[in-house]
Amino acid sequence: MLYEGRVLMITGGGGGIGRATSLMAAKEGANIVTADINADNAGKVASEIEKLGREAIAMGTDTTNKNQVDRIVAAANDRFGKIDFLINAAGLAGGASFLEHTGEMLDEVLASHLKSMMFASQAVLPKMMEQRYGRIVNITSRAGWRGRPGTAAYGAAKAAMTGMSRVMAAEFGEYGVTVNNVAPGMVLSPMTQDLYGKLQDQVDEQIRAGAVIQPYRLATEDEIAQALLYFCGPNTDHVTGMTTHVNAGTVMP
């Protein structure tokens, strides 16, 4: 198994891409730590993990709150003695025209993505540095590379995550820690189901976005999960500070 004996922590792990990644990693032997603001959803994912024969910790966690993040990381270290992989998947969408953006909206969106990433990474890094091994993978977005009306705060937050991850890669590479990103396009997840539940809506969205891969459809959660877990797999020691785009060719940097 690829991740036998490894421990994976996922923020925003109670549903969508976080859940899909947790299940995929557990099937390959990883034990899972789920931090999600919705404690019920986190607990449900933990139950699924345990049914696969792996161990799981789940806590309702506001990842913009450093004390709450530190609490779940401490619990994971007490139980497993380490966290090998951290995937930062927490965040919220938020959308409005630029002139309708407020300072409160910007603060909320930046906190849910950037502050969450910073707090979770700060919490796991000391143990990773001590063991001289670790993998941090952040879910950024096509929105951080390609401007789209109505996404000012979201695009800014995702671009900032990319910038922060490059600094982290440079600072912690000497400890055997890599830091990388996966930038999805539109994904068929619970968050987008209402907007793109019908196949024709997916087709229209992909055409508008400039997808080059056909047939036109949105990415699946498993496709994003597979990209995230690549960075946690074997033979990736020299891959750091990078972004993998999973968006049907709508962004080709």
For residue 83 the two structure tokens come to: 């966290």
For residues 6 and 191, what is the distance between their CA atoms, to the nearest angstrom?
A: 29
Sheet holding 56-60, edge to edge: 56-60, 31-36, 7-11, 85-88, 134-139, 177-184, 243-246
Among 158, 187, 10, 173, which Cα is nearest to 84's?
Answer: 10
Residue 154 is among the residues annotated as catalytic for this protein: yes
Which DSSP symbol is given to 63? T
Catalytic residue among 154, 175, 196, 230: 154
Structure tokens at 202: 């997916």
Does residue 206 contact residue 248 with C-beta atoms inside 8 Å? yes
Which residue numbers are catalytic? 154
